[in-house]
Structure 1
């Protein structure tokens, strides 16, 4: 995907859902205060937030954090959604162990109360703006984590809102936050509507049995959540489900401005073992060079990368500034987002930026390589 610096006029208007203000992204050491089992392969981890860092870790329901540690001598980073509304004392994330998952297996099997991990302050635009009306979330597996925070906050703080959840899992034993969901249903019986779809466990209604495919989603949109009754949509899960849901919502005439989406993975093999950003090899450092100028925390630096085999902007910037923000390095979390102020880039993958962000000139620096002699990006905008 080629991306060119957007003209200044593209900044006017902005998205239908304005993101929370960006702040300096930095890691802070937080203590693990609680680890609670959710299912046979998933846990909830609570980090204690010291009073001195309360402002740094304030957040809006639906946002996520990056977590960093060292495993077998190597730095590992992952991004996790916050699964409970803000209380000023804790950050809570849900972690589901994946096959051969490096970080998720470490959390599930080795992390203990009292350990400290490096945690980046919250960010993200998977947030709600409506004050009244109907909110619908379609989630699968651990995609429930940000939806838990969104739903609980909407029901508690917005009496004019109703919340409908369509939640897909393999079986009832795989449902994360089962008790919390039941508690929300008991507390808000007239405003919270919950529908479990199980792919490997028979249900009394065919609509709730089997995988969510296009015909099943069309039936849900026709009989359960007619789009004309919905004010805001949230989609969270693996890439195939999110893409399917967006496609079917398009077919039913839902405006993209009313849809927010977030991925917990792209479905690629070995994704939880994603490497750090690729760096230039010594044998690639000769020949014509591209100049990458980047601004971070008000400071501007310049690095160069080979035109014939360029690094990503993120990898090049990390050679000069190790504090350049990133988490997944796979185009999913959006932590490395920056404004392209000059030049052109090729962005390999994008699973995080919305069309309005692309139109305004934002790029994912972990996926963007220079295609012009000079590139200028700003992490502060």
Structure 2
């Protein structure tokens, strides 16, 4: 385990206080937060944590997991509980399901993420798949508890009932808020006695289903979370139904291997480039090695550069382009308004001009 590097990457070693088996392939892990770190770990509904461990061969592994617990009211200690589903070949998820135990210590980064819902009056809806329920559970529970004039509709897709995470927590929301919480469940590989017929929630099905369930035009915010295919299908269905893009928020949990890059390949960049980056108030300038990402350039000199997935999904390495131009291989974390404003994912960015300047602090 690496030592805590408080003030550099926002990691702190936290003790595991509970490991709860949710399904055969998923667990919920709760971390104890000492009093002096309560404010550092006070999260917004929908935010995530980056967890870090060192494997037996010395490799550092980082993964991000969303917080499923409601956001604690001011003055109360934060509750850090994340949902972890086993991924084939996944180093951290395998460790979490097979080895992690109460009393163990894990390096945990302070909460991050902009896929959030601040409690306010209105009607809100979510389309989630699999472990995509995790951040949305925090959103719905916090919203309904704090805002009596709010309503929430959860449309969730899972393979089978046995593979469905957080069944009890969602059932509790139905019991507590029967007039303000609506639940619609679709199972792709199993028939159910009540609810939707089995099958995937693809674009065509969602385009027909959503207007039958909700006044689509009256929903104040749509939250899409889960595998790339489901999120893309739900987004296109909402656009087909003339929903304003600014009311659609999304977070990708899984991206299939071989996803096509979203911009020009890095090989088309300059033969020699220099990166200047500002991080935690300190700046430095370094040459960019051929083919490496701008994040890797910074990491060669600054171990405190923020990152988690390195796959263009979590958004932890978000940075502002102060000068020059960059190209991103792919982007599944930033909203169009963010990229239009000049933000990029450093883990997917390569220089398009001989000199580039990034600011990680904005």
TM-score (norm 1): 0.86
Equivalent in the alignment of 2:324: 343
User: Aligned partners of 2:284 and 2:70: how far apart in 1?
Assistant: 38
Q: Does 1:228 align with 2:213?
A: no
Match among 266, 273, 277 for residue 290 of structure 1: 273
Structure 1 spans left out of the alignment, 5+ residues? 1-22, 270-286
Q: Which runs of 5+ in 2 are unaligned?
A: 1-6, 259-269
Match of 2:264 in 1: none
Match of 1:49 among 12, 21, 33: 33
Q: 3-state SS of the aligned residue for 1:320?
A: coil
Contact 2:323–2:357 (CA<8 Å) still a contact in 1? yes
SS in 1 for 2:300: helix
Equivalent residue number for residue 78 of structure 1: 63
* TM-score (normalizing by structure 2): 0.91
1:212-260 deviations in whole A, cap 9, x for unaligned?
1222211211201231131110000000100111111111000111111
Show the counterpart of 1:147: 136
- Quote the Cα distance in structure 1 between the aligned partners of 2:158 and 2:87: 14
1:217 is matched with which residue? 206
* Superposition map of 1:18-29 within 5 A: 25-29=9-13
User: Contact 1:48 / 1:89 at 8 angstroms: preserved in 2?
Assistant: no
Q: What is the alpha-carbon distance in structure 2 between the residues aligned to residue 52 and residue 305 of structure 1? A: 39
Alpha carbons of 1:136 and 1:303: their partners in 2 closer, same or farther (altered >3 Å)? same
RMSD: 1.7
Number of aligned residue pairs: 341
Instruction: Name the counterpart of 2:348.
Output: 367
Once the 2 structures are TM-superposed, how far is the Cα of residue 206 of structure 1 from its aligned partner?
Answer: 7.7
Question: In structure 1, the residue corresponding to 2:287 is in which secondary structure?
Answer: strand
SS at match of 1:38: strand
Give a deviation string over 1:330-379, Cα, whole Å, max 9, x none: 00000000000000111001000001100110000000011111000000
Q: Is the 8 A contact 1:50 1:89 kept in 2?
A: no
Match of 1:299 among 282, 286, 294: 282
The higher relative CO (CA closer than 8 Å, separation ≥ 6) is in 1
Q: CA deviation at 1:72?
A: 2.5
Q: 1:39: which partner in 2?
A: 23
Is 1:196 aligned with 2:171? Answer: no
